[in-house]
């Protein structure tokens, strides 16, 4: 059913606290938050097992046991999502039972979305195994962003699943203050049961890379978008802003790279073609971390066209880590995250978004100042180095034991 990789190291698994991670919608290789969490726990003496989709890049994370299952086809419809999540749930449930009967574990972390893995973790609480719910996004809001509507049967079901996930968990982890407040309000949770653990990059991985001029495709400037490419990421707004720059303002000195993979990549490529942007835009697809960070070290400006009010954009944190100023829509958590490291357009205003890109490209001194401000925010507060202690402390308190 799954493939097991033994943990390196001399300490036997039954001698240390053991944490089991359940994640459905992305492989360990592509979930940077999960990798940082696993590495943090291993560094503090915990044993970690991960159940997730199979991916060649999953391997090589020292100290982690890996249980994989074949990834389902990406769904393109609501019925397809039901099939995808149903299959993944069955595989995860089977592998959880296998881990329970072989190596065992002391606590479970369910990583949304979707918010369905409480059905696996909650029964295990009867065996004294606490459940942690790591909420990165709000599933009901993601559904509304994807399909443009809320309040229907599916939306109500997602709200119910979210609420039960909150209520089933012994502790909830969120990525920012807005999501923390949502968890307390919707879950009606008692004080002290939600911890904010940000998703910033690890400082040790953010050293400067040598810029590669060929990534500019022969043009003076490079503007970059980086991340998982879903419908909620609104790459369409960025492309329409580029259309304004290229065909409206006649700007032809800039190449735009959309680095990443996901279900919105193909529609985005089609839209770029429809807008006549083939000569100015590229879609390199998924690249490894080293290549992704080389793009950021070569770029002049980053793009964050997301329109989700309470999301702390991971790509924004990565831009800031590499002193890359970026343009975003003016949203509460985006502004709270980036402050002076970004320029902000009115939400959904593609023309203003384009104007701000042009202004940054034409002002290298301003870009440098914004980049330095962003890097300083990462170093002082946002980096994973500052988030890791709060994360590890959740498990120390839940398990109420010292780790050796």
DSSP 281-333: EE------HHHHHHHHHH-SEEEE----TT---HHHHHHHHTT--EEEE--HH
pLDDT at 238 over 90: yes
CA–CA separation, 157 and 9 (whole Å): 44
Q: Over 90: is that where the pLDDT of 279 sits?
A: yes
Of 371, 236, 370, 254, residue with least CA distance to 305: 236
H or E stretch including 356?
Answer: helix 350-361
Q: Which of 316, 24, 44 is nearest to 34 (CA)?
A: 24
* pLDDT single digits (tens) 29-41: 888 899 999 999 9
pLDDT at 3 over 50: no
pLDDT given at position 80: 63
Contacts of 66 (CB under 8 A, 6+ apart): 3, 4, 5, 28, 49, 50, 52, 58, 59
Q: Does the domain made of 204-380 have the CATH classification 2.40.50.140?
A: no
* 80 vs 46: CA distance, rounded Å: 37
Cα–Cα distance between 390 and 198 in angstroms, integer?
10
At residue 5, the pLDDT reads 36
- State the distance between the two ends of the chain, measured CA to CA, in whole angstroms: 32
- 4-200+384-399 and 204-380 share one CATH topology? yes
| pTM of structure | 0.85
At residue 102 the predicted structure's pLDDT band, cuts being 50, 70 and 90, is very high
3-state secondary structure of 361: helix
Cα separation, 120 vs 127, whole angstroms: 12
What CATH homologous superfamily does 4-200+384-399 map to?
A: Glycogen Phosphorylase B; (3.40.50.2000)
Query: Measured between alpha carbons, how far is 203 from 253 in angstroms, rounded to an integer?
Result: 32
User: CB of 113 within 8 A of CB of 308?
Assistant: no
Question: What's the pLDDT score for residue 140?
Answer: 83
Domain ranges, ordered by start, for the chain: 4-200+384-399, 204-380
pLDDT at 142: 79
Q: What is the pLDDT of residues 380-394, one digit of tens each?
A: 999 999 999 999 999
pLDDT of residue 404: 43
When comparing pLDDT for 142 and 125, which is higher?
125
Stretch 91-101: mean pLDDT, rounded? 94
From the list 95, 112, 13, 90, the residue with the least C-alpha distance to 50 is 95
* % of the chain at pLDDT higher than 90: 72
Q: What is the mean pLDDT of the chain?
A: 90
Distance CA 222, CA 338 (A): 21
- Residues 6 or more apart from 156 whose CB is under 8 A from it? none
Task: Give me the mean pLDDT over the 269-297 stretch.
Answer: 95
Question: How sure is the predictor about 401, in pLDDT bands with cuts at 50, 70 and 90?
Answer: low
- How confident is the model over 356-375, as a mean pLDDT? 97
């Amino acid at each position: 059913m799954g493939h097991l990789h033994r943990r390196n190291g001399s300490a036997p698994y039954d001698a240390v606290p053991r944490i089991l991670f359940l994640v459905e919608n992305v492989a360990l290789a592509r979930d940077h938050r999960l990798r940082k969490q696993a590495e943090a726990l291993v560094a503090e003496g915990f044993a970690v097992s991960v159940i997730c989709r199979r991916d060649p890049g999953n391997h090589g994370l020292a100290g982690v046991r890996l249980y994989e299952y074949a990834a389902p086809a990406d769904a393109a419809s609501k019925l397809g999502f039901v099939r995808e999540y149903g299959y993944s749930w069955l595989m995860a449930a089977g592998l959880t039972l296998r881990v329970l009967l072989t190596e065992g574990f002391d606590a479970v972390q369910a990583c949304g979305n979707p918010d369905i893995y409480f059905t696996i973790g909650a029964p295990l609480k009867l065996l004294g195994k606490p459940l942690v719910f790591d909420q990165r996004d709000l599933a009901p809001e993601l559904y509304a962003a994807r399909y443009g509507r809320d309040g229907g049967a599916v939306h109500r079901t997602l709200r119910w699943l979210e609420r039960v996930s909150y209520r089933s968990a012994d502790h909830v982890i969120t990525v920012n203050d807005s999501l923390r407040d949502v968890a307390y309000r919707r879950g009606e949770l008692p004080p002290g049961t939600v911890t904010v653990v940000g998703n910033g990059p690890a400082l040790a991985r953010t050293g400067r890379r040598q810029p590669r001029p060929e990534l500019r495709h022969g043009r003076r400037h490079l503007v970059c978008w980086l991340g998982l490419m879903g419908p909620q990421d609104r790459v369409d707004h960025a492309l329409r802003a580029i259309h304004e720059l290229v065909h409206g303002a006649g700007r032809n000195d800039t190449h735009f790279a959309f680095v990443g993979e996901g279900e919105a990549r193909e529609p985005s490529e089609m839209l770029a073609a429809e807008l006549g942007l083939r000569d100015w835009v590229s879609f390199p697809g998924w690249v490894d971390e080293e290549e992704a960070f080389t793009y950021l070290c070569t770029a002049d400006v980053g793009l964050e066209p997301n329109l989700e009010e309470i999301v702390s954009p991971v790509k924004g944190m990565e831009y800031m880590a590499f002193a890359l100023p970026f343009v975003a829509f003016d949203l509460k958590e985006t502004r709270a995250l980036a402050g002076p490291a970004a320029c902000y357009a009115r939400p959904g205003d593609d023309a203003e978004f384009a104007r701000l890109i042009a202004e940054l490209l034409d002002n290298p001194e301003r870009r440098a100042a914004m980049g330095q401000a962003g890097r300083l925010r990462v170093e002082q507060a946002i980096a994973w180095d500052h988030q890791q202690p709060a994360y590890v402390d959740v498990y120390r308190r839940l398990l109420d034991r010292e780790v050796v």
